[in-house]
Amino acid sequence: MLKLDRYLIREFAQSTFAVLVVVLIVLLGGAFADVLGDVARGKVPPGMLLAQLGLVFLKWLPLILPLAVMLGLMLAMGRLYRDAEMPVLVSIGVGPRRMLRPLAWMALPIVAGVGLCSLWLGPWADRVSARMIEEAGRNLLIAGMEPGRFTELPGGGGVIYVGGMSADSREMQRVFVYRQKDQRFDVTTSQTGTLSVQSERDRYLRLAQGFEVEGPLAGGRDFRLMRYAVNEVRLPEDLTPRRKNSDVALQPTTALFGDPRPEASAQLHSRLAPPLLTLAFALLAIPLSRSSPRQARYGNLAVGFLIYLFGVFLMMLGTQWLEDGKVPGMLGLWWMLVPLLVVAVWMYAHDGAIRRPKNGHPRALA
């Protein structure tokens, strides 16, 4: 590999990595807020916060990496133009075609990584996330229940307080349960309690040696006090929202090829689009970054960012059209991807081309 290729690859990779780090830091707040909101609503146990955050990042990478590639390449090329390095390279015969090799060395591995995340790792992360949440839901929010702390039941149906808990989280001491139903409240206390899981829908809290008080929420004297030796308190059926196995977002990519449903076709094309978008954005970054030494530094970056938003918006809109049946499954997202790739190749091939004006003197395109 020539020194020039190594130099350009290093410049491209450093700028792309810097942009990727910045974008990840910015999006970290959004992802953390989403997962933390699910924890607060009881959808995700607190102990799974970091694991869920990592899985969310795997699902977001196919949308983050194309932006990092485009802006990173534009920053690197913009610096070459600003420092007058590109005119020197052009003077020795280094044009867009000559730069295709270092561009390919840097961009193609990222395109492959985007395809890996979009086609395999993203769906795998979605399945693992759903399975982890479902397993936690079978255990009475045990992963989120801490001794000495009130835990809200999903759906706002009440709260549970546990004074102590065994190492396997199955046996509890000093249990307090408050529930509301049909304009009445129910307060149950017990010295000991165990979790009984009879099926996915039937979960009971078996309490021993305690009291139960039942009364109206609106006030009145209709109260009942009971002392019991054993009391089984039925817990809500769905402690966490469960996703069906037939959900196309949880299906492997290979299973979507033979699925005739419109939503399966939409999911398949939404997974195929990110690597092709990354390739198109990498090609577009070179001609879009062409500038004069005195031109504003970040003007072209705004244009590139708007093109990225437009491409991602069309991908999401086309996916929704496919899911709604407004676009045939055979057409998919090719109506958007193919023209974008053609325009990217055409702009890259004609970047810096020499044209001959009518007076016969050749002049380089600006």
- State the Cα–Cα distance between residues 275 and 272, nearest whole angstrom: 7
- State the Cα–Cα distance between residues 62 and 316, nearest whole angstrom: 13
Structure tokens, 148: 């000495």
Phi, psi of 292, deg, nearest 5 = -90, 160
> Residue 308: what pLDDT?
92
> Residue 365: what pLDDT?
43
> Residue 184: what pLDDT?
83
Residue 177: strand, helix, or coil: strand
CA distances from 242 to 115, 201, 258 (A): 28, 11, 25
Q: Residue 345's Cα: distance from chain center in Å?
A: 29
CB 280 within 8 A of CB 310: no
Listed by start position, the domains of the chain span 3-136+244-352, 145-234
> Residue 240: what pLDDT?
47
> Residue 46: what pLDDT?
67
CB 288 within 8 A of CB 304: yes
> Residue 231: what pLDDT?
84
Structure tokens, 217: 């929420």
As averages over each run of 10 residues, the pLDDT of the chain (366 residues) reads 81 90 84 75 68 83 91 87 77 74 90 92 86 65 64 70 76 84 84 73 77 84 85 65 63 83 87 93 88 69 90 91 86 90 89 56 48
> Residue 115: what pLDDT?
92
